[in-house]
Amino acid sequence: MKVATVLQPVVEAALGSDLPVRVDCWDGSSLGPPDAAVVVRFASRRALRRLIWAPNELGFARAYVSGDVQIEGDLLDALTRLDELADPARGPGVHVGPDTFLGVAKAAVRLGALGPPPRPPAEEIRLSGRRHAPGRDAEAVSHHYDVGNDFYALVLGPSMLYSCAFFEQPPSTAYTLQDAQQAKLDLVARKLGLAPGMRLLDVGCGWGSFVIHAAREYGVTAVGVTLSQEQAAFARAEVAALGLADRVEIRVQDYREVADGPYDAIASIGMAEHVGLSQIGEYAAALHALLAPEGRLLNHAISRRPGPPGDPKGDKTSFIDRYVFPDGELLPLSMLVDVLESTGFEVRDVQSLREHYADTLRAWVNNLEQHWDQAARLSSAGRARVWRLYMAGSALGFASNRLGVNQVLAVKPGPRGASGMPRTRRELLGMPEAGESPSSG
């Protein structure tokens, strides 16, 4: 094995001398164990230029998305190994800190890799306009969700649900992601107390899976709103094919523009992450106004760990902000609960699904890798790499408790409070009480 003497001080400064992976360079040289299960390959000098001009998470992301840095082997395993060495505050991937910058620059000089900053990959986006203005929010949603319905079908599977599943059993060939996603739909429907004749609003309805399930299985009349034209087209076609057009309406509409309340129940599944800290109070007030007295809200959202919110304008070096969820902002669970209660909701139930999301993301990564060539053809090789890195890194974040995901059930009190709410969680979930047979009552 040809030893990578030029890059050795750079790699060791970033990752240490006891490498858990093998690092291969474009000139055929290597560092690390020859038989390593994971290989990080610097495919060209341009990878160093990317790290010089953005010596942080963004530089690594640009190098990976462009293909200048390649990771061979199990990406989840690779990120886990690298994460043990990287600064955990920087999230998944390699963090090249200030102490490494000089070493990278010296190596670049010796290798003739200096030059102007390489153009960012086409998959990178920087939004303009006022943050969380309706037009900018629509552009952000389009960037993430209008990648192509066929692409998402490969990743998500037949459920077309892009949120945390609910694994009532450990994932296996006998209990699949599809089973767990159906269990999640029923979990939300039961918490909302859906019944025939009720009127349901699904905020951020995606490809329509929940409104379709609620109409077919629970007899409700449903409205789903999304800012994605592609999602809406897919959902409308599904609604029509299933003969539900008289009970399910799909709109391309901002939640702030919905004005035809009251609704008996509102679901918000994986949408609040897009709202933003500055708008979360308006979001809660809008949903509160749309609910009938004693109507229920189920807010299912990713959360961050408690602490200062950081830069309110977003992390400009964040892979997630530039490639995945532009303008996305995560709130601590406690902040969301406080906002809901301050708006007038009574919070009745909180359930963490953190481990379930790690399992969900692993299943999505597996789906993507199994259909890699087709996914790259349907979007681009760079887009497929974005999703692979994002989902694998997120799985690591949920597994390590850096990220959480919670279902918060709240009710809008009526004149006499929330007299119709179940008194126990078992009753809330439609389960027999202790000592009661499933068929009794």
Q: Per residue in 429-441, pLDDT tens?
A: 877 666 555 443 3
Of 318 and 233, the structure prediction assigns the larger pLDDT to: 233
Could you give the maximum distance between any two Cα atoms of the chain, in Å?
Answer: 79
Q: Is 303 within 8 Å of 332 (Cβ atoms)?
A: yes
Average pLDDT over the chain, rounded to whole?
86
Superfamily of structural domain 134-428:
Vaccinia Virus protein VP39 (3.40.50.150)
Predicted pLDDT at 85: 62
Residue with tokens 């979990």: 187
> Chain centroid to CA 341: how far?
25
Predicted pLDDT at 441: 37
pLDDT band at 420 (very low <50, low <70, confident <90, very high): confident
pLDDT digits (tens, 9 = 90+) for 384-403: 999 999 999 999 999 999 99
Predicted pLDDT at 100: 56
Single out the residue of 147, 167, 247, 149 nearest to residue 202, CA to CA.
247
Predicted pLDDT at 237: 98
Predicted pLDDT at 94: 46
pLDDT exceeds cutoff 90 at 148: no
Stretch 66-81: mean pLDDT:
86
pLDDT digits (tens, 9 = 90+) for 164-203: 999 999 999 999 999 999 999 999 999 999 999 999 999 9
- Tell how many helices (H) and how many strands (E) occur in the chain: 17, 12
* Rounded Cα gap, residues 328 and 284, in angstroms: 17
Predicted pLDDT at 112: 63
pLDDT exceeds cutoff 60 at 347: yes
User: What is this structure's pTM?
Assistant: 0.86
Predicted pLDDT at 38: 86
- DSSP per-residue codes, 247-266: TEEEEE--GGG-----EEEE
DSSP assignment, residue 45?
A: T
Angle (nearest 5°) at CA 369 between 363 and 374: 120
Strongest mean pLDDT among 119-123, 267-271, 321-325: 267-271
pLDDT exceeds cutoff 50 at 130: yes
pLDDT exceeds cutoff 70 at 98: no
Domain with CATH 3.40.50.150 in the chain: 134-428
pLDDT digits (tens, 9 = 90+) for 259-312: 999 999 999 999 999 898 889 999 999 999 999 999 999 999 999 998 766 544
Predicted pLDDT at 106: 67
The verdict on whether omega for the bond into residue 422 sits within 30 degrees of 0, i.e. cis, is no
Predicted pLDDT at 267: 98
